[in-house]
Structure formats: structure tokens, C-alpha cells
């Protein structure tokens, strides 16, 4: 399978813990995106990388959130001191041009 | 303020008939539009897109129409099949200063149910 992959698919954590998610994009795609989706809403943009450079961060991405793409390949999204409001589906997408292709998502539940 | 609106939360059609999903947008800077299909517990799957320089794009059973003056687009599925039952999201993007479209703004989605 050469699509976008995300790990883990599900994460349950206690409030205050740190979590890290990984995204492996389609290999030839130089652009990588993170989105968050909550129940009844469409995905909301969080951040965007072109190669290893993080070019934009949404206001949704508080100081507790950090994303990296160290070698322009895979990316990680870390949430520190998780809160119950962080419970959501975290989606990664990649693209070469305008059409973005999404991974299966990581479902985060903060207890 | 929702910049992309899908005003119908759900739509039910009979197998073999046409499904028409609608989307309105308010940001006149949007110049690229996409439709995604999403099954439960999966990520969105890209279906079809259209640039603002066109008013129609067709791919198999899927056709997207864009009316720039009305800031409205629609997705037509003909003929509809039970496997098309999913949530459909409309998304839009605007070109940035570097000439690239990247940040997608999504609607809330429309649940399509195709009955056998």
C-alpha cells in the first residue's frame, strides 16, 4: 500500500499526559498537512510543511502542540499536557500539487 | 464564520437515480474546490476537483459544477450506487502569495444514503 499511513490508529490517554502521532506521506509528495476533525464537523487545518519547512500554523495549534518533519519525509505531531478538549481525529494528508490525499487518521481520546 | 457551507446534513436517494450534493462558499479568494468522500473510521478519500477557471469537471459517474457568480458548487453522482453511501465533504482553497493552494477549508459534510 503506497497511501498515507498514520500511527497509532487509536490512542487513549489521561489528561495531562503527552502524546505523539506519526504520519508517513506518499513518498513522492513534498507537501504534508495536519488537520483535526471533531464530531459533526469537517476537518480543520492545523499546519503545513513543504519538505522540512513548516510554512503555516493555524491559531488552533496552541503552544502545547508541536509538529516536525525533520528530513522532509515522515512527520510527527506532539501534544503536551493533553486536555479533554484535545479529543478528536487527527488527520494527516500529503500532496504533490493541489489534491490532498489523507491517511486513516489517529483517534485520540483524553480521559 | 463558516466560509464553506453544506446546508443539507443528509440526503437519501434510490439506487440508479441521481444524487446532487450542494456547497456554498463566501470567500471570493477561493479558487480551487474539491470533493471528498468519507466512510466511518477512515480518512477522507479524494473524489474530484475543479479550478475556478472551469465551470464543470467530469470523472466517470462524478461531475462537479461550479457557479462562481453564485459562489456555489455541486457534485452530481449518476447513477447512484449503494456503495456511494458515505459522508461527502466539500473543500476549498485559495492561492497563497507563493502561488500555491494548500490550506483546505471544509464544510460540515452531507450524509448520503443510497437505498437499494
Rounded distance, CA B26 to CA B1, Å? 10
**Which helix (H) or strand (E) segment is A55 a member of?**
strand A53-57
Q: What is the pLDDT of residue B46?
A: 96
**Chain B residue closest in CA terms to A34:** B103
Query: A14-50, pLDDT tens digit by residue?
Result: 999 999 999 999 998 999 999 999 999 999 999 999 9
**Residue A1's pLDDT band (cuts 50, 70, 90):** low
* CA–CA distance, A73 with A23 (Å, rounded to integer): 9
**What is the rounded CA–CA span in Å between residue B92 and residue A98?**
10
Query: Does residue A101 belong to the interface with chain B, where contact is any CB pair within 8 Å?
Result: yes
Contacts of residue A33 in chain B, CB cutoff 8 Å?
102-104
Banded pLDDT at A2 (limits 50, 70, 90):
confident
Q: Is A74 on the interface with B (CB under 8 A)?
A: no
Q: Model confidence at B22, in pLDDT bands (50, 70, 90)? A: very high
Alpha carbon distance B47, B49 (integer Å): 7
Report d(CA B6, CA B24) in Å as an integer: 7
Name the pairing type of β-strands B62-67 and A106-110.
unpaired
Residue of A40, A42, A98 with shortest CB distance to B101 = A98
Amino acid at each position: 500500500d503506497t497511501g498515507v499511513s498514520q500511527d497509532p490508529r487509536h490512542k487513549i490517554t489521561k489528561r495531562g499526559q503527552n502524546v505523539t502521532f506519526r504520519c508517513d506521506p506518499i513518498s513522492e509528495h513534498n507537501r504534508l498537512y495536519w488537520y483535526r476533525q471533531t464530531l459533526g464537523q469537517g476537518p480543520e487545518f492545523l499546519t503545513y510543511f513543504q519538505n522540512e519547512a513548516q510554512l503555516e500554523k493555524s491559531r488552533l495549534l496552541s503552544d502545547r502542540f508541536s509538529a516536525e518533519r525533520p528530513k522532509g519525509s515522515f512527520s510527527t505531531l506532539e501534544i503536551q499536557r493533553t486536555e479533554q478538549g484535545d479529543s478528536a481525529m487527527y488527520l494527516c494528508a500529503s500532496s504533490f500539487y493541489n489534491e490532498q490525499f489523507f491517511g486513516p487518521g489517529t483517534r485520540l481520546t483524553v480521559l | 464564520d463558516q466560509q464553506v457551507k453544506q446546508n443539507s446534513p443528509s440526503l437519501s436517494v434510490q439506487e440508479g437515480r441521481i444524487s446532487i450534493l450542494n456547497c456554498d462558499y463566501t470567500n471570493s479568494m477561493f479558487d480551487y474546490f474539491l470533493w471528498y468522500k468519507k466512510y466511518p473510521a477512515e480518512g477522507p478519500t479524494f473524489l474530484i476537483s475543479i479550478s475556478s477557471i472551469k465551470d464543470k469537471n467530469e470523472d466517470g459517474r462524478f461531475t462537479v459544477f461550479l457557479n462562481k457568480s453564485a459562489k456555489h458548487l455541486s457534485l452530481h453522482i449518476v447513477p447512484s450506487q449503494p456503495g456511494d453511501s458515505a459522508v461527502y465533504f466539500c473543500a476549498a482553497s485559495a492561492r497563497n502569495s507563493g502561488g500555491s493552494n494548500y490550506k483546505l477549508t471544509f464544510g460540515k459534510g452531507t450524509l448520503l444514503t443510497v437505498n437499494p
